[in-house]
Every structure is written in structure tokens, then in C-alpha cells.
């Protein structure tokens, strides 16, 4: 269902249901839950890249399975998937979605659960749920946070699919690259982020999550605590030794 590998401070988590366009079903949801517990325990990993194998990032929830679920079962699965999206936000690692092909419905919400999103020019993003007679089961608050009310309503109420370039203009993705360069572009971004000490990145991510939840961010306290870490001390000392610095 998934592949997880780590090297040089970067982990890569790949959805591996290519025949189903990496659609989210109960089995894949469970596999992701287990994988994130493993990632959270990887103290030597600073960045997590999330990608899909084959022609899609993630085509959303598995409609064949959804058609067989009773309402109570569907609600329980949606609750698990909402918690899974929140779990990405609580990871100490910076997370990057590498989006190639469709990222629709729950697949778009999965991409939105990541800190950064890089799309290939052939990526297509949207929330088609309304055209099928129901609403997204989770992630609407995060969508509003990322793109704002007007664009979010556009996506939610029309069900239309966006080309990657329009998604970039909307702020739904951070970068768009040519399809052959997606993997190398994401790897370069991940390596660049991973050069920073993990403590400061984790603190910044936690502050954003707190502010988004309406809680105090605690920036000053986190800043003071970070200054006392060996990594920050070493980098400050190295910066002070640079030519032209006092």
C-alpha cells in the first residue's frame, strides 16, 4: 500500500495503489496511520516528502468502497482520515507534497495537509464531491486557511478541476515544474529545507498550527528556547566568525 524510505535527513512516503490512482480506502488509511507513527519517531529525519506512484498523486476516496459503506461506517472512516490529516500537521518534520497527475477530493485535502506543495504541470486539482451529491468530509478549514474564502467557495461549490498553473495563481500550490523535473525539484527543495536545524523548523511549524487553531503562538518562548540549543549556538557562532561580521 505504501513505501517509506529515508536518507540524508529526508524521508519519502509513497502511496502505492497505482491501479486505483492511489485512492484512499480503509486499508490505505490504516497504512498511512502506521507510517506516520514511524515517521514521527525518526529523530534523524527533518523533511518528509509525500508522493503517489504511477499516474496520480491521489484521486481521492475510493468511490467503489464508499458505495458499500453504511452512513455510520462512512462517518467513522471520515473521522479517521480527518485525524490523519491533523497528524501530518503535528509531525516535527516539514512535509512536502509532490503532486503529479490528479489530486482530487480527499487527495487534494491530503496535499493541503502538507506544509508545502510542488506540482508538475500535468497535475490537476479539485473537489468534485458536490457534483456527486455530497460535501468534502474533512479539510475545509484548512482549505480556507490556504487560499481564502473566495477561492475556497469556488472549489467547493463548482466542483471544477484546476490546471496546476491556476492552482499556483490561487495559492493552492507553492511551485509548478515540468513533469520530468518534479522528482529532482522536490528533492532539491527537501535537501535545502533539511539543511536547517530541525528544532527551529519544528518550532515554526508548531507556532503556525497553534495560531491557526486560535491559540497563542508562543513565538517568544520558542525563540528563547531555540537560542539555547547546540545547533543554534553553533550556527550563530559560525555566522559571527564570517568576514565582515562583528
At 236 the pLDDT is 63
75-79 average pLDDT score: 95
* 146 vs 170: CA distance, rounded Å: 9
Asked if 104 and 161 count as a contact pair (C-beta separation under 8 A), the reply is yes
Highest mean pLDDT pick, 37-41, 197-201, 214-218: 37-41
Residue 54: alpha-carbon gap to chain centroid: 19
At 184 the pLDDT is 98
The three-state secondary structure class of 6 is: strand
Specify the pairing of strand 94-99 against strand 2-7.
unpaired
- Would you identify the CATH topology of the domain 2-194? 2-enoyl-CoA Hydratase; Chain A, domain 1 (3.90.226)
* 149 vs 168: CA distance, rounded Å: 16
pLDDT at 213 over 90: no
Asked if 76 and 26 count as a contact pair (C-beta separation under 8 A), the reply is no
* 17 vs 102: CA distance, rounded Å: 13
Asked if 157 and 214 count as a contact pair (C-beta separation under 8 A), the reply is no
Is 129 an annotated catalytic residue? yes
Locate the domains of the chain by residue range.
2-194, 198-240
Choice among 5, 73, 129, 183 that is catalytic:
129
Tally of CA atoms within 13 A in the half-sphere of 126 that contains its CB? 17
pLDDT at 235 over 80: no
Instruction: Provide the percentage of residues in the chain whose pLDDT is more than 70.
Output: 95
Amino acid at each position: 500500500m505504501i513505501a517509506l524510505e529515508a536518507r540524508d535527513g529526508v524521508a519519502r512516503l509513497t502511496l502505492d495503489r497505482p491501479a486505483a490512482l492511489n485512492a484512499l480506502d480503509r486499508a490505505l488509511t490504516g497504512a498511512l496511520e502506521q507510517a506516520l507513527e514511524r515517521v514521527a519517531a525518526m529523530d534523524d529525519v527533518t523533511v518528509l516528502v509525500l508522493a503517489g506512484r504511477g499516474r496520480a498523486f491521489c484521486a481521492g476516496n475510493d468511490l467503489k468502497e464508499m458505495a458499500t459503506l453504511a452512513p455510520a461506517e462512512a462517518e467513522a472512516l471520515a473521522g479517521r482520515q480527518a485525524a490523519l490529516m491533523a497528524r501530518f500537521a503535528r509531525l516535527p518534520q516539514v512535509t512536502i507534497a509532490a503532486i503529479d497527475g490528479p489530486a482530487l477530493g480527499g487527495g487534494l485535502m491530503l496535499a493541503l495537509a502538507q506544509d508545502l506543495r510542488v506540482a508538475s504541470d500535468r497535475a490537476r486539482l479539485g473537489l468534485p464531491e458536490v457534483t456527486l451529491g455530497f460535501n468534502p468530509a474533512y479539510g475545509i478549514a484548512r482549505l480556507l486557511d490556504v487560499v481564502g474564502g473566495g477561492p475556497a467557495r469556488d472549489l467547493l461549490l463548482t466542483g471544477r478541476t484546476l490546471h496546476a498553473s491556476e492552482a499556483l495563481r490561487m495559492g493552492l500550490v507553492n511551485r509548478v515544474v515540468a513533469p520530468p523535473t518534479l522528482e529532482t525539484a522536490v528533492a532539491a527543495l527537501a535537501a535545502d529545507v533539511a539543511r536547517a536545524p530541525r528544532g527551529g523548523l519544528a518550532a515554526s511549524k508548531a507556532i503556525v498550527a497553534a495560531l491557526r487553531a486560535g491559540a497563542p503562538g508562543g513565538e517568544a518562548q520558542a525563540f528563547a528556547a531555540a537560542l539555547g540549543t547546540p545547533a543554534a549556538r553553533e550556527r550563530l557562532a559560525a555566522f559571527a566568525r564570517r568576514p565582515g561580521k562583528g
